[in-house]
Structure 1
Amino acid sequence: MDDTAREKLLRRVKRQGATVGASLPESVTIDGEELPLAEFVVETRKVPGVPPESRELLASAKKTLRSERARRLERLEEDPLDQEVAETLADEIVGIDRALNSLENIRQPDYGESARTAAIDDHKRWLGFLDTLS
């Protein structure tokens, strides 16, 4: 693979919108072990809230994916690769980014719902205050 093709792939994986339209990889191989990435992300997103006992697992998964992304990016930047292997690496990096985006956005508060809940709580406090006056 020549330097121009390498730069093109690197620009692709570093582009901010690289994950738009990208599909989540079914699995990712990390340290020789194949992990069902798509299933993990889908199952994690189904849960209405991340229970405290699962937060460490989620954080560990994100840390592992970030490390694996960095390892693959370094390989794409520095190793002598043929075009097919380089394109596969780029696809894997974008897929890992897609998974990380999904996991990063998991269980973020819905700001509209948070505002509504805060308003209801404020009204309840005022009603409680008014009850003490009467």
Structure 2
Amino acid sequence: MKEFERKQLLERANKEGATIGASIPDEIEVQGDPVDLQKFVFEIKRRDTIPSGERERVDEAKKNLRRERVERLSKIEDNEVSYEEGEQLVESIIGIDRALNALDQLRPVDLEQEAQVQEAADQKRWMKFLNKALGRDGKNKGIRR
């Protein structure tokens, strides 16, 4: 592969908006093992948050995807592939980036924060109930019976 072609491929692989409109590959080989990447990402993303039991699995998948991205990019950087193979690698790198973006957007479930929010809501409902029961629901301000 010619130097300008290699640079062009590297620029495409590292372009900021490269993932816009890109799709997550159905299946990809990561560290020598086939992974149903699209199915995995959609399964996790469907939940909108990462359940505590899945957090380790998602973190491991993200780590492996980042490692695979670096390995594929280095093949282009080290000029180990033809231009055609480089184009395929770039497309797979963009797909990996798209999957990583989707997984990075998920927020972990913070159980402690969720418990605090729930407790605050419970206290608010309780105070509203008490005020209504005691005749202090705001309608009779200043009037005593």
TM-score of Structure 1 vs Structure 2, range by shorter chain: 0.7 to 0.9
Which shows bigger deviation, 61-70 or 78-87? Answer: 78-87
Counterparts of 1:1-134 in structure 2, within 5 Å, are: 1-107=1-107, 121=121, 124=124, 127=127
Q: How far does residue 21 in structure 1 lie from its aligned partner after superposition?
A: 0.7
TM-score, scaled to structure 2? 0.74
Secondary structure of the corresponding residue to residue 34 of structure 1: strand
State the TM-score, normalized to the length of structure 1.
0.79
**Quick check: 2:31–2:68 contact (8 Å CA) kept in 1?**
no
| C-alpha RMSD of matched pairs (Å) | 2.7
Q: More helix by proportion, 1 or 2?
A: 1
The residue identity in structure 2 corresponding to 1:13 is A
Q: Match of 1:101, SS?
A: helix
Q: What number of residue pairs does the alignment pair up? A: 123
Structure 1: distance between partners of 2:91 and 2:48 = 30
Segments ≥4 residues shifted beyond 6 Å: none
Superposed displacement of residue 106, structure 1:
1.5
Q: Among the aligned pairs, what percent are the same residue?
A: 38
Question: Which segments of 5 or more consecutive residues in structure 2 lack a partner in the other structure?
Answer: 110-116, 137-145
Q: Deviations over 1:85-129 (max 9, x none)?
A: 0000100110000000000002379xxxxxxx79x85x929x47x
CA contact (8 A) 2:55 2:108 kept: no
Look up the match of 1:112.
Answer: none
